[in-house]
Chain A
Amino acid sequence: MNSKERILARLRHGRASSPATPYDAGGSPAETPVQLDIDSMIQALEAAHATVFRLPAKDWPNHLAGLAKEREWTRWWIGRDEAGKTWQNREPNSPATLFTDWDTQKHDLFDNAQVALSQAQGGITETGTLIVESHSNVPRTLSLVPPVHIVIVHESTLVATLQQALDQYGPGKMPTNLIFISGPSKTADIQQTLAYGAHGPKELVVYLCTAED
């Protein structure tokens, strides 16, 4: 027998010799339903130190261009998603780096990137959470390595709870990496003092896009 067989044999023997009496949670009331509430999403995100702008979808590129000028962001990293394409159209002359070859671009990303822009696949209003899937057009490190992360999310993609968000996934429907982001990176490991930008982005800027009129 190998290790796996021995472990499983011990577990099966243990289960047979003292059968489980499953914990009875029958008396517990079902969870109170949580409503989709964009205000609470904004509140939660801002409480987690994120910056939120809520505006019509067509307006974010101009708004972001203004912000970029004010903050002097010049070294952009984008994906080949809707947000990335829109931004390239808005700023055709602004140099934004696209991921093409990780092995050669890795150090540049770590050392020189200032801002990353990407599209979230959805959001959770209860906890102020963005749902970010990895896929061929958007690398997973885009939302992690640059010090500022700008996320575009459409209000039509929001759900109320994590439960509802996970309902959209399941066997056969999992992206390689599914990330739920609820603010900029942070730590309280030194004397319980909160500090932002532990390893991931120090700043998270969220554009909540309302439907076009």
Chain B
Amino acid sequence: MSGFSTHPDHDFDVRIHDALGNAELRESFHGAMHFLRDKRRTQFPDPNALEALRDRGAAIRDRALARLPDLLEQLERNCTRNGIQVHWAETAEEANTLITGLVNAAQGKRIVKGKSMATEEIGLNSAFEAAGFTCLESDMGEYIVQQANETPSHIIMPAIHRNKASIARQFHTQIPETPYTEDVDELIGTGRRVLRRAFAEADVGISGVNFAVAETGTLCLVENEGNGRMSTTVPDMHIAVMGIEKVIERLADLPDLLRLLTRSATGQAVTTYLNLISSPRKQDECDGPRQVHLVLLDNGRSRIYADRQLRETLRCIRCGACMNHCPVYERLGGHAYGTVYPGPIGQVVMPQLHGLDRAGKLTQACSLNGACGEACPVRIPLPDLIRRLRHEGVTQDTGSPVKGHGRQRKPAEALTWKIWSLIHRTPWLYSLTTHLATRARKLLPPWPRAWTNHRAPLEPAERSFREMMEQRGRDPGGKQ
């Protein structure tokens, strides 16, 4: 499977250009984003109740983050007591080595995986490939995308960029004895048939974790398809991978968070399955995994945690509402970002993960319209964070834990703003500039094509605003 780049800035402009020129892609995203936004809106009919729920969600996540190191230790203690083996990984490489080691130790060959952003983040599938294992994605969207050697374009609906005709062609050519059909029930039936075989034969199941409850040592998974339950129930070994920020204090914190998560993500009041795993198979039980492992992944999160403002990023419950509401994401689609997490949350997470020198350009793909911040169910101030990272990208010495400061700085742009700032701070220079610009407006050089390609050229007015106001003061009631 082709992975995501650790240098998403590279060729970002080219990807944007390609995405904007792809009519089929734009139609897919336009339709899907409107569909998801409408569904979410119908789930929150009372704006006051929604705001109150967002407050509670943010407070629950903040309370957990305030006690993060203690809760992680509590989670480990309780999981261990329940028979779940807990591992810690500082980096993606360490996590991959650890997980492939576990699979090796169990002499596992066949692996199935439920949808998990954490394993996308560490590139686990590539690590498995390198170690000689095959790992089949079992979420329908992920399965389609993996088979096509693509990457997911949305964190909740991975194959959102594809239409049914292209999926029909793919299944027909890639799965033996599969006739061409655009009937969605039949297409899903084909996926079901192939994946059932894989579930029944798999030695190891991999999953993510939506929330982990510290007080009980419980892993919580939310889904509609049942592939998460299959992956965590049928194989002898279950390995769950979660970012360290996903721990919550109490079981009683779950209802509010789930209410926000499922309604924000897919506009559902409830998902088909809420799966709470507290233990491997017990002696007298007849099924379930014999071993359950939990990998606690840092991968830069503890660095983010040190900064009070950036820490708010860690409240994220991965619902995707920010991208569903982002006008830029809607037009570009997820692949243009070239990142595991696309859209607004990706624009905030990826520069923190890879550094502003590698991913700082992503923050430019934003009109600061604020829709993401208004949609976020746990009130992450995404526009503020994007603006801050933009600023850090062009400034040195900020004392922030984000790497690659100032690496987005362009000398010509910096000089332009210096001159602009000087003019606006110096009254006589301001008067002179506006005087010259209005008087010599016909003599100004032609606008660069990048601007006039899609817009009418701008021309300064005959007189500056200030001059017009002065004129009006002298001649009240008269025509300007």
Q: Is the CB of A3 within 8 A of B90?
A: yes
- Binary contact track A1-28/B, C-beta < 8 Å → 1, others 0: 0111011101111110111111111011
CB distance from B110 to the nearest CB of A (A): 14
- Whether A195 pairs with B188 at a CB distance below 8 angstroms is yes
Given the interface pairs A7-B302, A8-B72, A189-B139, the reply to whether A171 lies near B216 with Cβ below 8 Å is yes
Contact with B along A119-137 (1 / 0, CB 8 A): 0000000011100001110
Verify if B432 is at the interface (C-beta below 8 Å from A).
no
Query: Which of B32, B61, B63, B69 is packed against the most chain A CB atoms within 10 Å?
Result: B69
Contact status B288-A176, CB under 8 Å: yes
Q: Name B227's contact: one of A10, A178, A198 (CB within 8 Å).
A: A198
Nearest A residue to B89 via CB reads A3
User: Which stretch of B248-256, B329-337, B354-362, B407-415 is in the interface?
Assistant: B248-256
Residues of chain B within 8 A (CB-CB) of A13 are 306
Decide yes or no whether A107 CB sits under 8 A from chain B. Answer: yes
Other than A162-B254, A189-B144, give 11 A-B pairs with Cβ distance below 8 A.
Answer: A14-B311, A141-B233, A144-B229, A176-B280, A177-B275, A180-B270, A180-B274, A190-B167, A197-B188, A198-B227, A199-B138
Q: Which residue in chain A gives the minimum CB-CB distance to B222? A: A180
- Whose C-beta in chain B lies nearest to the C-beta of A79? B286
A21 CB to nearest chain B CB (Å): 7
Q: A195: which of B89, B139, B184, B266 is its contact (CB, 8 Å)?
A: B184
Interface residues of A in 16-67 (CB under 8 A from B): 17-25, 27-29, 31-32, 44, 48
Number of A interface residues, CB 8 Å?
Answer: 80
Binds A, one of B51-59, B121-129, B386-394: B51-59
* From B68, B167, B187, B192, contact of A199 by CB (8 A): B192
Instruction: Give every chain A residue within 8 A of B298 (Cβ-Cβ).
Output: 3, 7, 10
Task: Please tell me which stretch of B155-163, B440-448, B455-463, B465-473 contacts chain A, meaning at least 4 of its Cβ atoms lie within 8 angstroms of it.
Answer: B155-163
Instruction: Say if the beta carbon of B279 comes within 8 Å of chain A.
Output: yes
Complex: A190 Cα to B274 Cα, angstroms: 22
Q: Contact at B244–A7, with CB atoms within 8 Å? A: yes
* Residue A73 interfacial (CB < 8 Å): no
Closest A residue, CB atoms, query B159: A189
A200 to B199, CA, bound (A): 12
5 examples of A-B residue contacts, CB within 8 angstroms? A182-B271, A186-B224, A189-B157, A190-B140, A190-B188
A181 to B205, CA, bound (A): 21
Question: Which residues of chain B are near A154, meaning CB under 8 Å?
Answer: none
With A11-B68, A174-B216, A189-B141 as given contacts, are A179 and B276 in contact (CB-CB < 8 Å)?
yes
In terms of DSSP, what is the predominant structure of the interface of chain A?
Answer: loop
CA distance A48 to B271 in the complex (A): 10
B62: A residues at CB distance < 8 A: 20, 22-23
Residues of A within 8 A of B191 (CB): 198
B59 with A24: CB separation less than 8 A? yes
Q: How far is the CA of A21 from the CA of B233 in the complex (A)?
A: 40
- Give A197 to B224 CA distance when docked, in angstroms: 10
Q: In the A-B complex, list the 5 residue pairs whose CB atoms are closest, starting with the nearest.
A: A200-B226, A14-B306, A25-B59, A189-B141, A198-B225
CB of B218 within 8 A of chain A? yes
Q: How far is the CA of A175 from the CA of B89 in the complex (A)?
A: 28
CA distance A139 to B281 in the complex (A): 10
Q: Does A100 contact B (CB under 8 A)?
A: yes
B286→A102 contact, CB < 8 A: yes
Within A86-120, the residues touching B (CB, 8 Å) are: 99-102, 106-107, 110
The CB with the most chain A CB atoms within 10 A, among B158, B200, B254, is that of: B200
Expressed in whole angstroms, the Cα–Cα distance for A110 and B163 within the complex equals: 30
Check B308–A18 contact: CB distance below 8 A.
yes
User: What residues on A are CB-neighbors of B82 within 8 Å?
Assistant: 174
Shortest C-beta distance, A197 to chain B (Å), equals 7
Interface 1/0 per residue, B243-270 and A, CB below 8 Å: 0100000011011001000000010011
Of the candidates B28, B52, B65, B244, the one whose C-beta lies within 8 Å of that of A29 is B52
A16 closest partner in B (C-beta)? B306
Shortest C-beta distance, B142 to chain A (Å), equals: 8
Query: Complex formed: what's the CA distance from A150 to B370 in Å?
Result: 47
